[in-house]
Structure 1
Amino acid sequence: MYEKLFATGMIGSVEIKNRIVMPPMGTSLSSFTGEATDEVIRYYEERAKGGCGLIITEIARIDDVTGIGEPGQLSVTSGKYIRKLVQLTEAVHKYDSKIFLQLHHPGRQVSRSLLNGVQPVAPSAIPCGVVKEMPRALTTEECDDLVEKFIRGAVVAKTAGFDGVELHGAHGYLINEFLSPYTNKRTDKYGGDFFKRLTFLTSIVKGIQAACGPKFPVSVRISADEFIEGGLKLEDTIQIAKILEAQGVAAIDVSAGTYETGYAVIEPQFLPEGWKKHLAKAIREEVSIPVIAVNNLKYPKTAELFLEEGICDFASFGRAFLADPYWPNKAKARQEELIHKCIGCLQCFKTVFNGKPIECTVNPIVGRELRYNDQTLIKDGDGREVVVVGAGPGGMHAAIVLAKRGYRVTLVEKTDSLGGTLKTAEQPPAKQMIGELIKTLAAEIRDAGVTVILNQEVTIEWLQEMNPFGVVVACGGSPIVPRIEGVEQEHVVTAEDVLLKKVTIENQKVVIIGGGVTGLETAEVMAMNNHVTVVEMSNSVGNALYTSNRMMLLNHLKEANVSIQTNRMLDKINGDHVLLKEPDMGFEHELPCDSVVLALGVTPRRSFVKSIQESFAHVMVVGDANKPGQIVDSMKEANDKAYVF
């Protein structure tokens, strides 16, 4: 199975044990001074241990003044960083994985605040539409100096034991800015026509080859299409790839987009696997050196198919490695049901872009591998009985961790299936990967030896009969129903009722109260057969979503003619309309409707939780039963508390 995926391959003089590549992804795990930390070393080590063939590190800066790309970022600006980088390469190499270091400069796509007040630099003084800060155009001498800094960075990488380097020439960063006619309006040797725009990149490549030798591979990452009017198109990047091949570049790493077309760089949940595979295929057909390609891959079988079809020579799995560092080994062992698969929520980017260490909704350990691992998991359960009440994400993950610790775990669920709130979350369009998470957690429950009891309403009396050593309360929360006039009427339902198909509403005027994630996704479902209006008391909606997911969802709602009213709060429900009030102004508005859907979140079942806490000595409360939040909050809390329960 997966013969091509697990076949060896060559990049330059370096043999890779399989065709699986982990591409660069920021983690904010390195020190603020640029040194590799024990945390980032362990993070990469786990991916190597998990079976990855080639790891390409997150961006490493080559300049400490204008080249800072994120707060906790690797640096190769001097030899002082080599000592810790050696520890990084050695940690990866002991698993027969190879590792390239990616050399990077953000160019105009960075704010002054990250550069300690220094103005960003770029080939030309053209601001990025996302960052919105005017960069300063580099002088010719400064361009020459940055070329030398890229070369020096490669020398540091080679000295530290890296198997090669990758130049980040994609995603709108500095090298990409030189390549693109959209951002390069220079008239010196670094701009003017197609070939001069390549001078910055080709000078770096030549310099690295001279300094590091011909057997030290250089890969170049390119945006095959910037998806910007006036920017690089596929026909341009095919020519760039040919020139790089002729210059001796060892591999082309194909991606797409810039900050201004962020969806192409960081695919939201709405984009399917392989939506941009034509880009890599077109380049591969024109060059003979290996092509590495990211394609929003979720499943090993898709990568195998792409390798068979000649889409690429190496399949690059990005967020898949955040979700599960061991997925290559699991795929090779035919344990696909145990692979935690990326759900496309982009919590990873949301945290890093906010300056926090990386997080993953489906993997609460990512970025914290030093604290949570087989060595720190104390196996002292001694067969003592623990009952977990509720089979949502928090309850299931807590049950798995506690079973690994040696407890005898019974998971009790009042409905006829596992999943809890995940069953609601998987219903909207583009949320099918939530269903995959349910399947994976269920498989882990089975493998961990957890006893599952379904269709069982838990009471204090029932728990007392079980007489467990401890109880994990993961029973979720109750939908918030405001105390307003008319809320008890039959045409008033909850978003959960709608998403779980407990009620059917068609060809009606529907008002959804609440513009959070649940309210918007419920609107997307209901808009297929109804006229929908979403009402939100604050001045914006969907703020918990990462930007690209939020924008795509709002675009879908707009296309479905969903109306969104902000700065409105529900005051009263009548038979054929709702009365809305402006929170600050006090003005009232009447909105006709046939049905009202409440999407106001949930509240913990405090009385039930308290009764359990009063009845048992060892009680752990997680998820919405403790504090309402998102899946990521529930999984993380369950993991952390189960480690010390």
Structure 2
Amino acid sequence: MFDHVFRPGAIGGLTLPHRVVMGAMHLNLETLDDDGAALAAFYQERARGGAALIVTGGTAVSPAGAGGPGYGMADDPGHRAALRRAADAVHEAGGLIALQLFHAGRYALPGAPGTDGGPPVAPSAVFSRFARVTPRELTHEEILATVADFARGAGVARELGFDAVEVMGSEGYLINQFTAPLTNRRGDAWGGDAERRRSFPVAVLSAVRAEVGPDFPVLFRMSGADLVPDGTPREETAALAVALAGAGADALAVGVGWHESQVPTVQAQVPAGTWAVHAKEIKRALRAAGHGAVPVIASNRFNRLAQADEVLAGGEVDFVALARPFLADAEIVTKSAAGRGDSVDICIACNEACIDRSFGTERVSCLVNPRAGYEREFPARARPAPGRAGRYAVIGAGPAGLEAARTLARLGHQVEVFEAAAEPGGQFRLAARVPGKAEFGETVRHRVRELAELDVPLRLGHRIGHGDLAALRELDGVVLATGVVPCLPTLPGLALPHVVDYPKAFADPHTLGPRVAIVGGGGIAVDLAHLLTGDPYAKVTPEEFLAAHDLTAPRITAAATRAEHRPGRGPREVTLMRRTGRIGAGIGPSTRWVVMAELRSAGVRTLTGVRYEEITRDGVRIVDAEGQPQLVAADHVVLAAGQEPERDAAALLSAAGIPFETAGGAAGTEGLNAVRATAEGLRAAHRIARNRSPRQQNRNGRDGRNGIARNASAQNRIAQNR
């Protein structure tokens, strides 16, 4: 199906079986005190899944270059051992691996090793809104030393057995900072005009090439568009690409955007393939300069091989880099090559467990694949010895329950799922209704398909009751993932007919009037506001997205980076209210600013620090943050002020002495989000499978594999009680 993706290609002396590169991701596995075992397991699983060339997360070429405390460094013997182990593991799986050479510059976060409490370094002392600090300007001697650091890092990569290196010169990190007038205000040999601004990246590449020799592949990741005011001008970007090709780059990978950009680049609101336009421009510039043989790699916002195939079909780029899709499904390539693209777990671009975590120290993982980063702790598949398979029930088919069920089934156990609602998905059903979040529904559909393939019955419309307890006692255990129910505030007027809870509002938003007041300002309330007002980026094409941000190609200049797009008010007037904290405070930092900009564009009113007085027929009477009483006029009032665990099934199981593990909302609502729910579903499944008692194991040895799927004494009694 993917004729263009599955054509062999070459980068330098490397021959690759297809045109997909696994792009670099910082994982916070790099500095784990486990001798590199987790890092090696992560990369090896992706190599086995078909990632022909893997680019690692950035390895800092010096202490000053580390992005934060979770970054490994090329001059650290411990990190070198971890890198060697990772390279060996990838080779064992038949893959190739490139080490990314990295220097954060003014993006080094507090706690980065080289800062030692002082400011990071940069071409010029320009305040960084990302690191919230003004960096120290590098001296000429320090710049030369940094060039040598990159070369030394490349030598380390070759020594450790890596197949290539990638120089990180994009996304606003040090090398990119030298090319942008915004951050390079020097007047010496390293800045002042276009030629001198590109002298640092060219010097780095030349030094790396000299260190590793002509036959060792060197990739260079450059910025196709900085998307910040006074960023690298378009014509200088093209000239830099030509200069890098002339200096010996074996491939140019094209990134886009800085962390300080006010244009979304990797969020779900960005249409797939939007940024390929910049890779195509660079390829045209290379061809015009006689460097057309240098491969160009497009990246950012691809999550399906079909999208990559479409971009490759035009012949304007040579490879496509996917990063987060390899988190969501390590087998995205092999499944697609085998014609099983519909079985691929799709990256939903939520950023919650990946990008947001990468800026801290928590291990990077994935909402739709919570095994990512934990491959050693949680084997993907295992087959128990004959007669040792367990028999389990999962109560609840939300994100936590679906994850628990597929995990138990993958481990070779027999599982049955019971869901009180008529449809599976739980809170994901609500999210999938929100414009821009349709991929949440795809995650549910994928889980249901996989459970069917694993012979896991899914009993919908079945609420567990007393009549089910006898059958449940015959099992080895239960995973309880019944989710949450709305938490109703204590407020006069709740019984009025125009007051509804958020599940009802999501189920039928068209019944709500033109003025809606939402009591609550968390993630669910924000999603509801989007549902009621529409989304300016819903189902837009890449061209429409670029035009909405005044970025219509080819006119991409520093002056054309205005992010604010106001399509006009939505169909309703919506007010979000919250007692304490910010609106949408629980939304991840890489996404919240995009979401809030959309709410502002849609004319959504937000009020914080309020005190609710009562709900009346005219709306909600509050005291605002200034202590002034006011009426928030509304035709309907929606309650979205919190959740509490659904406890009925837990009480039944506890009273009956049936062993169970909880996951997701059933385990508690503090800090609850979809990432926690799926991760707890995974962990609950492994815990309950590990903790089977000897009595249970012996009994299953006698019963053989006549488990829940075929056991009349269990399944039939439960089914009869539906």
**Shorter-chain-normalised TM-score: which range?**
over 0.9
Counterpart in 1 of 2:52? 53
Q: How does 1:43-82 map to 2 (within 5 A)?
A: 43-64=42-63, 66-77=64-75, 81-82=79-80
Deviations 1:417-460 (A, max 9, x none): 22122111111110011011011111111121101222223212
In 2, Cα distance between the equivalents of 1:638 and 1:112? Answer: 34
* 1:500 and 2:507 are equivalent in the alignment: yes
Deviations 1:224-265 (A, max 9, x none): 111122211332211111111122210000011112116555
In 1, Cα distance between the equivalents of 2:374 and 2:78? Answer: 25
Conserved in 2, the CA contact under 8 Å of 1:89 and 1:99? Answer: yes
Cα 1:379/1:127, change in 2 over 3 Å: farther
In 2, Cα distance between the equivalents of 1:374 and 1:388? Answer: 19
Cα 1:86/1:282, change in 2 over 3 Å: same
AA aligned to 1:447 is E
Which residue, out of 331, 350, 364, partners 1:345? 350
Cα 1:311/1:320, change in 2 over 3 Å: farther
Counterpart in 1 of 2:699? none
In 2, Cα distance between the equivalents of 1:391 and 1:468? Answer: 21
Cα 1:122/1:36, change in 2 over 3 Å: farther
Deviations 1:3-46 (A, max 9, x none): 2212221101111222111111111112279x962111111111
AA aligned to 1:484 is L
Conserved in 2, the CA contact under 8 Å of 1:263 and 1:548? Answer: no
AA aligned to 1:634 is A
Counterpart in 2 of 1:359? 365
In 1, Cα distance between the equivalents of 2:25 and 2:458? Answer: 38
Deviations 1:350-406 (A, max 9, x none): 222132111211111111111111478867884553222211111111111222333
In 1, Cα distance between the equivalents of 2:233 and 2:382? Answer: 50
Question: Residue 286 of structure 1 aligns to a residue in which SS?
Answer: helix
Counterpart in 1 of 2:645? 604
Q: Name the stretch that deviates more: 159-168 or 180-189.
A: 180-189
Cα 1:378/1:192, change in 2 over 3 Å: farther
In 2, Cα distance between the equivalents of 1:525 and 1:90? Answer: 49
Q: Give the drift of 1:311.
A: 4.1
* 1:553 and 2:595 are equivalent in the alignment: yes
In 1, Cα distance between the equivalents of 2:439 and 2:588? Answer: 17
* 1:160 and 2:160 are equivalent in the alignment: yes
Counterpart in 1 of 2:700? none
Cα 1:59/1:381, change in 2 over 3 Å: farther
Conserved in 1, the CA contact under 8 Å of 2:68 and 2:111? Answer: no
Counterpart in 2 of 1:232? 232
Q: Name the stretch that deviates more: 378-387 or 356-365.
A: 378-387
Which residue, out of 323, 326, 331, partners 2:336? 331
AA aligned to 2:577 is V
Counterpart in 2 of 1:570? 612
Q: Name the stretch that deviates more: 431-440 or 235-244.
A: 235-244
Counterpart in 2 of 1:633? 676
* 1:292 and 2:261 are equivalent in the alignment: no
Cα 1:644/1:547, change in 2 over 3 Å: closer
* 1:523 and 2:529 are equivalent in the alignment: yes
Cα 1:377/1:30, change in 2 over 3 Å: farther
AA aligned to 1:630 is N
In 1, Cα distance between the equivalents of 2:577 and 2:53? Answer: 49
Which residue, out of 70, 84, 87, partners 2:85? 87
* 1:310 and 2:315 are equivalent in the alignment: yes
Of structures 1 and 2, the one scoring higher in RCO (CA 8 A, sep 6+) is: 2
Conserved in 2, the CA contact under 8 Å of 1:471 and 1:616? Answer: no
In 1, Cα distance between the equivalents of 2:14 and 2:233? Answer: 31
Q: Give the drift of 1:83.
A: 3.5
Cα 1:509/1:82, change in 2 over 3 Å: closer
Which residue, out of 85, 99, 102, partners 2:100? 102
Structure 2 runs not aligned, ≥5 long: 287-291, 534-569, 689-722
AA aligned to 1:310 is G
In 2, Cα distance between the equivalents of 1:94 and 1:159? Answer: 18
Cα 1:637/1:78, change in 2 over 3 Å: closer
Conserved in 2, the CA contact under 8 Å of 1:168 and 1:221? Answer: yes
Q: Give the drift of 1:608.
A: 3.2
Q: Give the drift of 1:537.
A: 0.7
Q: Give the drift of 1:218.
A: 1.2
Q: Name the stretch that deviates more: 108-117 or 360-369.
A: 108-117
Q: Name the stretch that deviates more: 570-579 or 456-465.
A: 456-465
Question: Residue 356 of structure 2 aligns to a residue in which SS?
Answer: helix
Conserved in 2, the CA contact under 8 Å of 1:345 and 1:545? Answer: no
Counterpart in 1 of 2:418? 412
Conserved in 1, the CA contact under 8 Å of 2:488 and 2:642? Answer: no
Q: How does 1:457-472 map to 2 (within 5 A)?
A: 457-465=463-471, 467-469=473-475, 470-472=477-479
In 2, Cα distance between the equivalents of 1:508 and 1:381? Answer: 61
Cα 1:158/1:172, change in 2 over 3 Å: same
Question: Residue 261 of structure 1 aligns to a residue in which SS?
Answer: coil
Q: Give the drift of 1:120.
A: 1.2
Q: Name the stretch that deviates more: 467-476 or 363-372.
A: 467-476
Counterpart in 2 of 1:283? 282
Q: Name the stretch that deviates more: 78-87 or 542-551.
A: 78-87
Q: Name the stretch that deviates more: 601-610 or 157-166.
A: 601-610
Counterpart in 2 of 1:301? 306
In 1, Cα distance between the equivalents of 2:164 and 2:219? Answer: 8
Cα 1:641/1:2, change in 2 over 3 Å: same
* 1:435 and 2:477 are equivalent in the alignment: no
Conserved in 2, the CA contact under 8 Å of 1:171 and 1:259? Answer: yes
In 2, Cα distance between the equivalents of 1:357 and 1:60? Answer: 16
Q: Give the drift of 1:151.
A: 0.5
AA aligned to 1:412 is F
Which residue, out of 480, 491, 496, partners 2:487? 480
Q: Give the drift of 1:130.
A: 2.6
Q: Name the stretch that deviates more: 586-595 or 453-462.
A: 586-595
Counterpart in 2 of 1:272? 271
Conserved in 1, the CA contact under 8 Å of 2:69 and 2:111? Answer: no
Q: How does 1:580-591 map to 2 (within 5 A)?
A: 580-581=622-623, 588-591=629-632
Counterpart in 1 of 2:635? 594
* 1:536 and 2:578 are equivalent in the alignment: yes
In 2, Cα distance between the equivalents of 1:290 and 1:590? Answer: 62
Q: Give the drift of 1:557.
A: 1.3
In the superposition, the TM-score normalised over structure 1's length comes to: 0.95
Counterpart in 2 of 1:401? 407
In 1, Cα distance between the equivalents of 2:650 and 2:472? Answer: 17
Counterpart in 2 of 1:643? 686
In 1, Cα distance between the equivalents of 2:417 and 2:331? Answer: 26
Question: Residue 108 of structure 1 aligns to a residue in which SS?
Answer: helix
Q: How does 1:190-229 map to 2 (within 5 A)?
A: 190-229=190-229
Q: Name the stretch that deviates more: 351-360 or 22-31.
A: 351-360
Length, aligned pairs only: 640
Q: Give the drift of 1:91.
A: 0.7
